Amino acid sequence: MNKAKYKRIVLKLSGEALQGKKPHGIDHSVLALIASQIKEIKEELKIDVAIVLGGGNIFRGQQNSGSLGLDMDRSVADYMGMLATIINGLALQNVLELAGVPTRVMTAIEMQRIAEPYIRRRALRHMEKGRVVIFVAGTGNPYFTTDTAAALRAMEIHADVILKATKVDGVYSADPLKVKDAKKFIRLKYIDVLKKGLKVMDATAISLCMDNRLPIVVFDLNRKGNIKRVILGEKIGTLVN
């Protein structure tokens, strides 16, 4: 058996990653791909897995409030975005459970009928029992992104790494889907991400990771087996440390 480089991971999935090629909503083929990869690493590598979900495929917070012609308060827009992450979390839980992977959804905004309230010790206990924990509703506070929630939860559960799943195979100097000669970075320092304004995670999340020396690996979600490759230490994507 190959030896895992990381024993406990936080997988950060954006809402956009879940929508696949659809203009919005959830692409169930993407959910199935994610579920199969998580099942694989749980069964073969026996590592602890936590997932933090975004909600951009359903609601993009303040950006959408403008496009809808609404003068929406930032806090209201952010809470709507948090609710979108709960929808995504329930969808992913359903697909994982159908694949035979035990899960728990834990929410920063209490919804007792559909998810457990986030309690750190309970989350740790779930992972000790082999369950995948899905963190939803961000931090539960407006003005903080799900990137920041991923960094915060990773610190709290003592994760070894944040795996940031995207539609491209790493961090580039510009959007590689729009700029042909965009440069790919194999490795970056936290401070370089902040100075260059690279779209890895927001500045608060990067600063949290930098202060706590938590590495981030940005990789392509759409290539089957990539999650396992990253965990085994293969040099794919971009490493930020």
| Placement of tokens 């949290």 in the chain | 208
Write the pLDDT tens digit of every residue in 25-73. 899 999 999 999 999 999 999 999 999 999 988 886 545 555 555 678 9
- State residue 103's pLDDT score: 98
Query: For the chain, what's the residue count?
Result: 241
Write the pLDDT tens digit of every residue in 141-169. 999 999 999 999 999 999 999 999 988 88
Helix extents (H) in the chain:
15-19, 28-45, 62-67, 74-98, 120-128, 146-156, 190-196, 203-212, 226-231
Please tell me whether residue 58 adopts helix, strand or coil conformation: coil
Give the HSE-up count for residue 190: Cα atoms under 13 Å, Cβ half-sphere.
16
Residue 191 has pLDDT above 90, yes or no: yes
Domain ranges of the chain: 8-240
Write out the two tokens for 86.
Answer: 């709960």
Write the pLDDT tens digit of every residue in 16-26. 888 888 888 89
> Does CATH place domain 8-240 in 3.40.1160.10?
yes
Name the average pLDDT for the chain: 91
Give CA separation, 64 vs 54, 71, 83, 88, 144, in Å. Answer: 15, 10, 14, 18, 16
Give CA separation, 149 vs 14, 22, 37, 77, 141, in Å. Answer: 12, 26, 23, 17, 10
- State residue 177's pLDDT score: 78
Cα angle 136-141-147, degrees, rounded to a multiple of 5: 55
Using CA atoms, how far apart are residues 54 and 88, in angstroms rounded to an integer? Answer: 8
Write the pLDDT tens digit of every residue in 229-239. 999 999 999 99
